[in-house]
Amino acid sequence: MTGTVTPDNTKIEITNLKKQFGSNIVLRDINVKVDAGSVVALIGPSGSGKSTLLRCMNLLVIPNGGRIRIGHHTFVFDDGSKMPRAKDQAHFRSNTGMVFQHFNLFPHKTVLQNVMEGPLVVKRMPKAQAAQLARTLLGKVGLADKADTYPDRLSGGQKQRVAIARALAMEPEVMLFDEATSALDPELVAEVLGVMRDLAAEGMTMIIVTHEMAFAREVADKVIFLRDGVIVEEGPARELIDNPKQEATRAFLSHFH
């Protein structure tokens, strides 16, 4: 891990990233730059490596090569068998808030306790301060009145908004969304996209894996189309979605009309 001075406005820089599971090469040579405060939508067919790329950024998956810089922290991966030091891992993880398709809230904890858990356990924040932070974040996702409710009493959309508040509670520099609305009933999708849109408007740096093309077109600054572990095409959201240059991108997008 090296502290580096960042001369530009790039918040995330992924360079020559490689990942394989056994003989299955999942990410071939990925290069991505994300400006601070911008939103990147990562699109592509099932199995193209979208989740693996996000998981590499959160060290849930350790790459086989390349480097990842987030803010002022850089990891260089030269061999998949070498794990970064525990302290560096913890820093990286808490700096990237991840929201999954399935929310994985603690069922035996209230909504407030779910959101407080990270700050309390990982950051050793005093309880009163963690509670205050959690209440602020629940207000932000429109769930101030659900603080004392248990997750099983919430709709899918409400659970996902709690999951977003929980990720934000670690005060990450970057938010990663992996198909955050894919498991939701259609009528619940908009409330979660609304929270994501608000976060983007506030200047959060975000990478979102999504099949919501209208949302990506509207909210993302840049869209990246990934197929078979390779970036086939990337560009400004509207340009890429309305007018893809590559045949493979066109074929993929035709499924969403």
Cβ distance to ligand ADP smaller for residue 11 or 227: 227
Q: Examine residue 23 and tell whether it contacts ligand ADP (CB under 6 A).
A: no
141, 162 Cβ separation under 8 angstroms: yes
Instruction: Kindly give the residue spans of alpha helices, DSSP state H, lying in 49-155.
Output: 50-57, 86-94, 111-121, 127-140
- Asked whether position 51 contacts Mg ion by CB under 5 A, the answer is yes
CA distance 41 to 9: 18
Should residue 210 be labelled a site residue for Mg ion when binding is judged by CB under 5 A? Answer: no
Classify 4 in phi/psi space as left (phi over 0), alpha (psi -120 to 50) or beta: beta
- Of 9 and 246, the one with the shorter C-beta distance to ligand ADP is 246
Task: Tell me if 58 contacts Mg ion by CB under 5 A.
Answer: no
Residue nearest Mg ion (C-beta atom) = 51
- The C-alpha atoms of residue 49 and residue 139 are separated, in whole angstroms, by 34
CA–CA dist 153, 131 (Å, integer): 21
26 binds, among ligand ADP, Mg ion, none (CB under 5 to 8 A by kind): ligand ADP
Give the angle 115-119-124 at the CA atoms, nearest 5°: 145
**Phi, psi for 21 (deg, rounded to 5):** -110, 110
Q: Which stretch binds ligand ADP (CB under 6 A): 44-52, 119-127, 153-161, 213-221?
A: 44-52
**63 is a site residue for ligand ADP (CB under 6 A):** no
Single residue of 52, 94, 160, 210 touching ligand ADP by CB under 6 A: 52
Nearer Cβ to ligand ADP, position 26 or 40? 26
DSSP-assigned beta bridge partners for residue 236: 222
- Taking the complex as a whole, the smallest distance from the CB of residue 230 to ligand ADP amounts, in Å, to 12
- Per CB under 5 A, residues contacting Mg ion are 50-51
- Per CB under 6 A, residues contacting ligand ADP are 21, 24, 26, 44, 46-52
